[in-house]
């Protein structure tokens, strides 16, 4: 190609050249030069695939990293609904799969016929069942430990779930942040010579509420917790 023809490449030609450089040609230098001249890494050629899809299919890890740094959309879909991650799984490129998951790709995405990445490995006729199972286990573990928003939130929820019994007990015992408690006491302070108002017990509903508070209120909750703590003699018996 002459220099004049090289300079006069249309946007469509730039995108096609980028597609080839990221896939079959494996030419990162050429790909970067084409991007600098205006090639779009997100253009799906002929409704088929884009440059990132091709890099994933061919297992071009460094080109994948470069394309993502240049604005390639991680979850862009092909005509069949494949993301780069789905294509990397279909063509058994586990390193690219792990790389894309580390960049935030969603393992749960399904294509136009409702196939997921995990089913792609399960249906791969070129892999033995044991290898496919190993791939799936590795990708699941990577996704659960990864930076996808769903997994970040899941880990937060699991951490709070571990603390939930303690939070319930603390709430029942009236434990509040010290600053908030101090402000509450200051706002509701009574003169020291004012008697506490009597507990209302005129109606059955009020008497039921009083019994409920004695069982599940602060005092009742403390008694309930204390009932699970064995005394010295009982503790010694259980140790035998």
Residue 106 shares a structural domain with residue 217: no
Q: Does residue 57 form part of some domain?
A: yes
Residue 22 shares a structural domain with residue 88: yes
Average pLDDT (139-156) is 92
CATH of residue 136's domain is 1.25.40.20
pLDDT for 115? 86
Average pLDDT (28-55) is 94
Whether the pLDDT of residue 233 is over 60: the answer is no
Whether the pLDDT of residue 123 is over 90: the answer is no
Q: What is the pLDDT of residues 4-29, one digit of tens each?
A: 445 557 999 999 999 999 999 999 99
Residue 11 shares a structural domain with residue 120: yes
**219 or 146: which carries more pLDDT confidence?**
146
pLDDT for 162? 76
Q: Decide if 21 contacts 30 (C-beta within 8 A).
A: yes
Name 65's Cβ contacts closer than 8 Å, sequence gap at least 6: 99
Residue 105 shares a structural domain with residue 169: no
> What are the φ/ψ torsions at residue 136 (nearest 5 degrees)?
-60, -45
* Domain carrying residue 62: 3-147
Confidence of residue 234 (pLDDT cuts 50, 70, 90): very low
Confidence of residue 239 (pLDDT cuts 50, 70, 90): very low
pLDDT for 128? 86
Average pLDDT (196-222) is 66
pLDDT for 46? 74
Q: Does residue 138 form part of some domain?
A: yes
Percent of the chain with pLDDT over 90: 46
Average pLDDT (138-143) is 94
Residue 36 shares a structural domain with residue 119: yes
Q: Does residue 153 form part of some domain?
A: no
Q: Does residue 223 form part of some domain?
A: yes
Residue 7 shares a structural domain with residue 63: yes
Residue 143 shares a structural domain with residue 179: no
Residue 61 shares a structural domain with residue 132: yes
Residue finishing a domain among 147, 175, 207: 147
Residue 39 shares a structural domain with residue 141: yes
Q: Does residue 181 form part of some domain?
A: yes
Number of domains in the chain: 2
Q: What's the pTM value of the predicted model, to 2 decimals?
A: 0.66
Q: Does residue 158 form part of some domain?
A: no
Residue 224 shares a structural domain with residue 142: no
Q: Does residue 152 form part of some domain?
A: no
Residue 134 shares a structural domain with residue 210: no
């Amino acid at each position: 190609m002459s220099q004049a023809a090289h300079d006069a490449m249309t946007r469509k030609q730039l995108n096609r050249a980028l597609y080839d450089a990221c896939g079959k040609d494996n030419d990162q230098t050429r790909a970067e030069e084409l991007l600098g001249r205006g090639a779009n890494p997100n253009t799906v050629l002929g409704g088929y695939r884009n440059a990132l899809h091709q890099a994933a299919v061919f297992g071009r890890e460094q080109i994948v990293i470069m394309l993502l740094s240049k604005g390639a959309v991680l979850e862009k879909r092909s005509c069949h609904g494949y993301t780069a991650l789905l294509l990397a799984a279909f063509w058994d490129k586990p390193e690219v799969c792990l790389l894309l998951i580390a960049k935030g790709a969603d393992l749960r995405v399904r294509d136009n016929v409702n196939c997921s990445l995990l089913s792609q490995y399960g249906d791969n006729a070129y892999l033995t069942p044991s290898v496919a199972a190993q791939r799936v286990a590795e990708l699941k573990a990577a996704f659960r430990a990864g930076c996808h928003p769903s997994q970040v939130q899941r880990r937060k929820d699991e951490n709070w779930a571990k603390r939930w019994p303690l939070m319930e007990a603390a709430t029942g015992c009236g434990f509040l942040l010290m600053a908030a408690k101090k402000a509450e006491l200051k706002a509701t302070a009574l003169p020291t010579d004012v008697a506490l108002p009597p507990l209302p017990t005129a109606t059955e509903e009020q008497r039921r509420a009083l019994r409920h508070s004695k069982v599940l209120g602060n005092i009742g909750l403390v008694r309930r917790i204390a009932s699970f703590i064995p005394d010295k003699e009982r503790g010694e018996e259980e140790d035998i």
